[in-house]
Structure formats: C-alpha cells, structure tokens
Amino acid sequence: MFSKLAVFVPLLVTLAAAIPNTVPITPPTSDQCCQSVVDSNSTAAGAVLAGLGIDLGDITVPVGLSCSAITVAGSNCGGITTRCDAPEIAWQGLIAINCIPITI
C-alpha cells in the first residue's frame, strides 16, 4: 500500500506544478465619493502622490482626490461616485488609485 502512495503523491505534485494558473488576479475595489477625478500625471495628483511618498512611475491612471468610502448604496455623494482599487494602506481620504466613475 505504501508503495502505491509513494508513486501517487509525487505524480499529484508534478501535475499540480504543471497546470498554469490562468485565473487573473484582480485587486479588490471599493466605491468612493471623490471631489474630483484626474490623471495621475496632473499637477494636483502629483502633489498629493509626492506628499504621500507614492511613486506610480510612468503609469498614468485616473486618481480620485478627497475621497471617502460609500458604505450605503444610493447615498447622496455630492461629488463623483467612483469605483477605485482598494488601497493597501489608508491615505486618510486624500487619494484613491485607478478610479472609474460609476452610477449607483
């Protein structure tokens, strides 16, 4: 019995390693209410990014400025309702990365 197991386990490990991971990894998103949405290479976004020590390099993405999380669907935003990549760290609502305007 153990000899069959000794052959079977390495076979499973080999098969698992050979199967490529084809599931795309997408960052979590969050709905935000932002006062404005600008390109990351704009002067306003550049100032906030630099102040927070965020370097996006040559990537140009839409960023939301002065954002707050929307926690209740249908709430009155008073700004631009967006769906942004959820930040890995909190930036006290100063900026949100990769923001796409949406309608709730």
Q: Is 54 exposed, middle or buried (0-12, 13-18, 19+ CB in 10 A)?
A: middle
pTM, two decimals, is 0.64
As a whole number of angstroms, the distance between CA 23 and CA 25 comes to 6
Predicted pLDDT of residue 12: 45
Minimal CA–CA distance to 81: which of 41, 45, 36, 39? Answer: 36
SS3 8: helix
Report pLDDT for 36.
92
Instruction: Give the pLDDT confidence score for residue 94 in this predicted structure.
Output: 86
- Supply the pLDDT for residue 85: 85
pLDDT at 21 over 50: yes
Query: Residue 45: is its pLDDT beyond 80?
Result: yes
Q: Which residues of 56-65 are buried (b: 16+ CB within 10 A; e: fewer)?
A: eeeeeebbbb
